[in-house]
Amino acid sequence: MSKVSKLVIKACSDNKFSSFTGEFITSINPENLAIKSAVAYGVPNGVASFGSLKYYGSPPKLLSFSLLFDGTGIIPGSNTIAVIEQVKQLQDIAYSIHKKNNAPNYIRVIWGQIDFKGRLVDLDIVYSMFQVDGTLIRAEAHIAVLEEVVSAGKGKSAAGIDSDYTKPSGASATSKGSLSRGGMHRRLIMRLLAHRPLIRRLLRQRLMA
C-alpha cells in the first residue's frame, strides 16, 4: 500500500527557495488547492475599439486552500499533536516575523506534483470546537499564498510546472491616461484576494458535508 502523501509548507531563507529553515506537515490534507490566475489588459486613452485591448502582463498567481485541525479523535492520526500547537507551528512557519529578514518567511507549499513558491498574504483561523474546560479541539485555517515569480531560465515555475519560465513583459503604456503595468497588477491582485470569502465558504461547506 502506498504511503499517504501529506501537504508540507517549507520555510525558506530567501527567494531562491532552496535553503530551508523549517517545515510544517499537515495532519489532515486539504480537500483541494485553488490557484487563481489573471491577465491584465488596458484600453489606451480609455476608448474601446476593435483590437484596442493592450496586454500589460500577468500578475502573480494566488494559491488558496483550507486546513482542518482536529483533536476529537474522530479522524485517525489527527490528534497526535494538540490543535493549538499545530496552529502555532503553522503561524511560526508562514506568518511570524523573523529577525533575519524582518519579515515572514518565503514558503513552498508542496503536495504531490504541486510545488508553489511564494509568501503568505492571508491567514484566517477559525476556532470552532472546545472541550468544557476550554481546551481547543478543532480549528480551521484559511490560507492564501501569493506567487513569487522565479528567475528566468529552465526549471520549475511557482506552480511546479517544468518550463523555461519567464513572465511576459507585456506592452508599455505610452498613451496619456493609460494605466501602468504595475498599477494593473496591483488592481488584479486585489481582485484575486477579493475571491477569498467565496473560496472559504465553499471549502467549509465541503468539510462539513
pLDDT tens digits for range 147-156: 998 655 544 4
Q: How far is CA 178 from CA 52, 132, 159, 175, in A?
A: 12, 60, 31, 6
On whether the pTM is more than 0.95, the answer is: no
Q: How far is CA 60 from the centre of its chain?
A: 11
- Nearest one of 160, 93, 84 to 120, comparing CA atoms: 93
- Nearest one of 6, 2, 9, 63 to 30, comparing CA atoms: 6
More confident residue, 76 or 128: 128
Residues 150-178 have pLDDT tens digits of: 655 544 454 444 333 333 333 333 333 33
